[in-house]
Amino acid sequence: MSKLENKVAIITGGGSGIGRAMSLLFAAEGATVHILDLNVQGAQDVVTEISAGGGKGFVHSCNVSLQEEVLTIVDRIGKIDILVNNAGIAHIGKLENCTTEDFERIFNVNVKGAYNALFAVIPKMKASGGGAILNLASIAAWVGISDRFAYSMSKGAIFAMSLSVARDYMADGIRCNSISPARVHTPFVDGFISKNYPGQEAEIFDKLSKSQPIGRMAQPEEIAKLALFLCSDDAGFITGNDYPIDGGFIKLNN
């Protein structure tokens, strides 16, 4: 029996990076995966790959910062066993480099987007007897990271929201955890390096990789494997926790 046989999962931002890896793995483990993403083409590519492997996946064009869109899609899906709040955007800059527009853009996607999905899904889970929720936090919720003011704010909120949901809905059979990755090698990282350090791509990639004690970035598939465990029945006794997956960054980076 696959770990997620007959489960229905929503993965926000499932069309690329970590979300893509989770979508593919969850489908391979038997889940019907619903991807909510503004990047419809990327999400469709993932679903095509899921279908080629014999799995089930669906694409929903969705701006998670708009509650009505999220509610409409969740109502259309029906019963939901798993929610992964993965959709998120980044901002580089200190407080002084963070405009009101920057702050609100990060908040609306990273914090309000997760809230909207939780708001829509939790009543469905309560009605069906429970479920598993996983929120993507970050090591930025644990330690100070230079030039990440708004992003750190948003991931600290995710960390705290996860604890609150775990406490409030434990009696309803709903588990809620978060994970805190360090730097993960995704297309976003490659794009950031090429945009900001043209001609120095290899050097900067190596520098960023070695900023983690383990000496490399994580692969999206490694994050997905932890996500799979926490969303499966194997983790039935686990709720209200955050799991750093960081190559030793938090405890050993000194």
Looking at the fold, whether 97 and 202 belong to one and the same domain comes out as no
For 169-192, what is each residue's pLDDT tens digit? Answer: 999 999 999 999 999 999 888 988
pLDDT average, residue stretch 243-254: 91
Range of the domain at 22: 8-182+219-244
Looking at the fold, whether 28 and 145 belong to one and the same domain comes out as yes
Looking at the fold, whether 88 and 207 belong to one and the same domain comes out as no
Report residue 40 as tokens. Answer: 């419809």
Q: For Cα atoms 97, 64, 68, give the angle at the middle one, nearest 5 degrees.
A: 125
User: What percent of the chain stands above pLDDT 90?
Assistant: 93
The neighbouring-strand residues paired with 10 are 34, 83
115 is catalytic: no
Tally of domains within the chain: 2
Cβ neighbours, 10 Å, residue 250:
14
Per the domain annotation, does 251 fall within a domain? Answer: no
**With a threshold of 0.85, does the pTM exceed it?**
yes
3-state helix, strand, coil in the chain (%, to 5): 50, 15, 30
Per the domain annotation, does 162 fall within a domain? Answer: yes
Per the domain annotation, does 236 fall within a domain? Answer: yes
Looking at the fold, whether 33 and 86 belong to one and the same domain comes out as yes
Looking at the fold, whether 45 and 133 belong to one and the same domain comes out as yes
Per the domain annotation, does 240 fall within a domain? Answer: yes
For 45-76, what is each residue's pLDDT tens digit? Answer: 999 999 999 999 999 999 999 999 999 999 99
DSSP character at residue 108: I
Looking at the fold, whether 189 and 152 belong to one and the same domain comes out as no
Looking at the fold, whether 188 and 95 belong to one and the same domain comes out as no
CATH number, position 23: 3.40.50.720
Average model confidence (pLDDT) across the chain? 96
Looking at the fold, whether 22 and 129 belong to one and the same domain comes out as yes
Looking at the fold, whether 204 and 136 belong to one and the same domain comes out as no
Which positions ≥6 away from 196 have C-beta within 8 Å? none
Q: Which of 115, 151, 169, 243 is catalytic?
A: 151
Per the domain annotation, does 194 fall within a domain? Answer: yes
Looking at the fold, whether 155 and 52 belong to one and the same domain comes out as yes
Looking at the fold, whether 121 and 193 belong to one and the same domain comes out as no
Looking at the fold, whether 126 and 37 belong to one and the same domain comes out as yes
pLDDT at 227: 98
pLDDT at 110: 98
Give 47-53's long-range contacts (Cβ < 8 A, gap of 24+): 47/23, 49/24, 50/23, 50/24, 53/24, 53/27, 53/28
